[in-house]
A = this chain, B = another copy of it.
Amino acid sequence: MMLEEKTISSDRIYTGKVISVKVDTVEVENKGYQKREIVEHPGAVGVVAINDNNEVVLVKQFRKPIEKVIWEIPAGKLESGENPKECAIRELKEETGYEAENLKLIHKFYTSSGFSNQKIYIYLATGLNAGENKLDEDESLEVYNIKLEEAYNMIIKNEIEDAKTSIGILLAKELI
């Protein structure tokens, strides 16, 4: 069976500040032509930052698409030409003030490959040194230090409902 789909044509629908949208017409083996709606995203990082008290740094942030304040690990979009590790260092500092002595890529994943190319790189940060945070002009958030075991329980109780945060903490717990 041939799983790949050949692109026949591609229509640009929207080019925005963060995302772009296109609709591709593809040829599917034995199934003719189909439309694929695709949201292009620059990619992002998330940082599981663990301090010397075995606490993980979480932020509470309002997310307009879901009209809700949710728990997340510090995270942010890749800037043009930025490599994921630089982005992880920058976002951790901007959102929480922390700088990490050790930063290790532990996972990368697609958030929703059915309609978007968004890819998130998860870093584990240890050896944290506190400092001043400095949020982007369009950001508002609150920073908390939560025991790793308690953060894990927040996933099990589903108080955490963010993909990168659950994956990051579940994997960090195996590694720490």
Q: Could you list which residues of chain A lie within 8 angstroms of chain B, going by C-beta atoms?
A: 1-5, 13-14, 16-19, 21, 23-24, 26, 28-29, 31, 34-41, 44, 60-66, 68-70, 72, 77, 107-120, 137-138, 140-142, 155-156, 158, 161-164, 166-167, 170-171, 174
How many angstroms from the CA of A70 to the CA of B4 in the assembled complex? 11
A13-B14, A18-B114, A110-B163 known; 20 new pairs, CB 8 Å cut-off, are A3-B62, A14-B14, A18-B37, A21-B39, A24-B64, A28-B138, A31-B138, A34-B138, A36-B65, A38-B65, A41-B112, A41-B115, A65-B113, A65-B115, A107-B155, A108-B158, A110-B161, A111-B111, A112-B118, A163-B164
Q: Is the CB of A115 within 8 A of B37?
A: no
Q: Is the CB of A16 within 8 A of B26?
A: no
Q: What's the nearest-Cβ distance from chain B to residue A166, in Å?
A: 5
Note all chain B residues with C-beta closer than 8 A to A138.
28, 31, 34
Note all chain B residues with C-beta closer than 8 A to A64.
5, 24, 26, 36, 38
Identical copies in the complex: 2
How many angstroms from the CA of A114 to the CA of B42 in the assembled complex? 12
Partner of A65, one of B2, B17, B114: B114
Contact A113/B166 with A13-B14, A108-B161 known, Cβ cut-off 8 Å: no
